[in-house]
Amino acid sequence: MSSEGPHLGDEVGPRIRIHRLDLGLSLLELSKRSGVSVANISKIETGKIVGGFQTIYRICRGLGILVTDLLEESQPVAGPIRVLREGEAEVQETALYTYIPLSTRPGGGLNAAIMIVHSRDLPDPVDWSNHRGEEMVTVLSGSVVLHCEGQKPVLLNEGDSANFESGPRHCYVCCSQMSARLLFVSTRPGSGPSVENI
């Protein structure tokens, strides 16, 4: 047993890895920052060993976070329900779509909006969207064609839904008489894009 003091939870290692990757650090870079060997950091991240408090403290210092940040992640506390009332959202217009934001948690992992697709012409690929994470849409009314770089176009009618990796460029084109309305949800990893810049 380590003489460093009490061990932290088994979930701390994977969370250290997430923080390291979010910062774009290699194991060697974190080792230099923290003074903990590459081998020990790797073993802690993969759960092969459970680091003592002093070791975890040094790793956290290298990551620029507090040990309590990891503990809080291990013991999440439900936040308050966040309600966005009808008419409260700031409607966002682009050349192709209208976004009506839905309630999401500040700093949370989701973007969500009602997306109204007006354009019936395929835009120049430079104007297509792309962002980290995944995207899911459900057609509430009307019809659209989903164009995704490297894949065949997909027709989506009312009630249809689609889910895809949103890194490749993609766009929606309305193919119904009236503008199409979609429920749009995308993941927002780390400090990823918000609805206004997708």
**pLDDT one-digit tens code per residue, 98-122:** 999 998 876 678 889 999 999 999 9
Residues with Cβ within 8 Å of 38's Cβ and at least 6 positions away in sequence, in order, are 27, 28, 31
Confidence of residue 78 (pLDDT cuts 50, 70, 90): low
Question: Same CATH fold, 92-197 and 12-74?
Answer: no
CA angle, corner 129, sides to 86 and 144, nearest 5?
65
Q: What is the pLDDT of residue 7?
A: 47
Task: Say whether pTM exceeds 0.75.
Answer: no
| Residue 8 pLDDT | 55
Q: Which H or E element spans position 171?
A: strand 170-174
| Segments making up each domain of the chain, as ranges | 12-74, 92-197
Best-predicted range by mean pLDDT among 8-12, 124-128, 191-195? 124-128
- Strands 134-141, 170-174: pairing is unpaired
pLDDT tens digits, one per residue of 131-150: 888 999 999 999 999 999 99
180-187 and 97-101: which strand pairing? unpaired
Confidence band, pLDDT 50/70/90 cuts, at residue 81: confident
Identify the pLDDT of residue 33: 93
Q: How far is CA 135 from the centre of its chain?
A: 10
Q: 138 near 180, Cβ under 8 Å?
A: no
Q: Give residue 9's pLDDT.
A: 58
Mean pLDDT of the chain: 83
Q: Which amino acid, 184?
A: F
For residue 6, what pLDDT band results from cuts at 50, 70 and 90? Answer: very low
Residues in the chain: 198
Does residue 191 register a pLDDT over 80? no
Domain spanning 92-197: CATH 2.120.10.90: no
53/45 Cα distance (integer angstroms) = 14
In angstroms, the CA 157 to CA 106 distance is: 32
pLDDT of amino acid 48: 86
SS3 at position 33: helix
pLDDT band for 180, please (50, 70, 90 cuts).
Answer: very high
Q: Say which residues have a Cβ less than 8 Å from residue 168's Cβ, sequence separation at least 6.
A: 130, 148, 149, 150, 151
CATH class of 12-74: mainly alpha
